[in-house]
Amino acid sequence: MTGLRGRVGAVPALVAGGMMPLAFAPFNLWFLAPLALAVPLRLALAATPRQAALYGYLFGLGWFAGGVHWIYVSCHRYGNMDAPSAALATAVLVAYLALFPALGLLMARRLGRSRAAFLLAAPGTFGLAEWLRGWLLTGFPWLAPGYSQIDSPLGAYAPLGGVAGVGLVLLAVAAALAWLSTWPRRRWPALAALVLLPAGGVLVDRLDWSEPAGPALELALLQGNVEQQIKWDPAHFEQTLARYLELTRAADGADVIIWPENAIPALPGQLPAGYLETVRAAAAGAAVLVGIPTEDPDGRYYNAVLHLTPPGGEYRKRHLVPFGEYVPFKRQVGPVLDLLAVPMSDFSTGGAGQVPLQVAGSSVAASVCYEILFPREMRAGAAAQWLVNVSNDAWFGDSIAPPQHLQIARMRARELARPIARATNTGITALIDARGRVATQVAPFSVTTLRGHIVPQRGLTPFARYGEAPVIALCLVLCGVAWRRRGS
């Protein structure tokens, strides 16, 4: 009978997981997230720990297979993998990511033997599993549950607890729905949660976490739309340089001009003589931030943002993409570089402690592409007055990844109450205000310039001050309380 129940519950768990990606960009059906999450919680209410883990794993398979299948595009179309190898790499990643919701439900079932104790523990254990996903093996927190709520009332909790805090509140709502689905006699705690948590978000959203720190700056974000297949081809090198130089000349009147990640596909020493000086002159007094690989005297390479105009400066990417920008355990798995044939795939990390850039009279914290996924690292720039994220989303093609990437950047803006200028090679290039709203954006896959303004901000949100520590502590408290009343 137990085995039959497990098989019957497997299909709803998998289907509910398949619903989860619809809650994220580009679909933005955020209300589906609590409904989808409630399904494996409901199934696990009367399950054994092993069955709960199975439901969590199947839920995770549906969730990540539907949400990160673009990995296949990156590996096959742009990473030079053959189709079977790319499909295998994608399947392995999905299978790995599905372990975390399985772990969350397994631990909740072991901590909370009764239904009430289980649903009390589940948001905490699920939240801890998500924290682990963002840290283990350098972390891959893509599609963290909280991102789905950026436009819902629950998204207002981001300045308090970051995306982890939003996810914890979301899971509490899902647990309340799962409890109500059992038609218990005591419904008022769940009903109260369903009313008070969104209502609290509405009230919190009225608070201002920052204030202007100076006059508005006019920005020009250059989108060169250089195809990934030709980006590192020497035959197209001069064409790429000419395109960005022309876009810079046309950005008259801007205070700051921003080029995307690796807009210049060469080291500074490999450029035509005088090219960077020509760019400075073309900027006509505007500050210029350029995405370019750089090299130090010891021969280490960095994925960097170079400030070309006085007082100058450089930001070196801290959190690198495994197998894309560096190879873990290089001696053992170094041949993967030849398999992927990824250009400039042996970068070094810029490390912590880099100071903000001084740009047009304001302080700027830069980030490069993938590292905007990591809120605890982005907190290092919380003292800056605005943020810059440069990216080369050409690796994702026309998949659902670029809208998801933009949604992640929006959450960073809302967590820190800082506007973000996001310049990308192929899109989505956008300006995001301090509340995480897209102020303006341009169409992807077009050679264009995004013009707009941002207002530098000052003031620290609770998340900027304390990070994820309070949320992790709350998860542990929930687990402890559930353990104490596990039989009640």
Catalytic residues: 261, 317, 369
What is the DSSP secondary-structure string of 123-151?
HHHHHHHHHHHTTGGG---TT-GGGGGTT
Q: What does residue 322 show for φ and ψ, rounded to 5 degrees?
A: -60, 135
What tokens were used for 128? 């801890």
Where do the DSSP E strands lie in 224-345?
A: 256-258, 287-295, 301-307, 313-316
SS3 237: helix
DSSP 221: E
Residue with structure tokens 């595009």? 73
* CA–CA distance, 306 with 294 (Å, rounded to integer): 9
C-alpha 22, offset from chain centre: 17
Beta carbons of 67 and 140 less than 8 angstroms apart? no
β-pairing, 357-359 vs 420-424, is unpaired
* CA–CA distance, 457 with 397 (Å, rounded to integer): 34
C-alpha 152, offset from chain centre: 18
DSSP 272: P
Contacts of 168 (CB under 8 A, 6+ apart): 123, 124, 127, 146, 161, 471, 474, 475
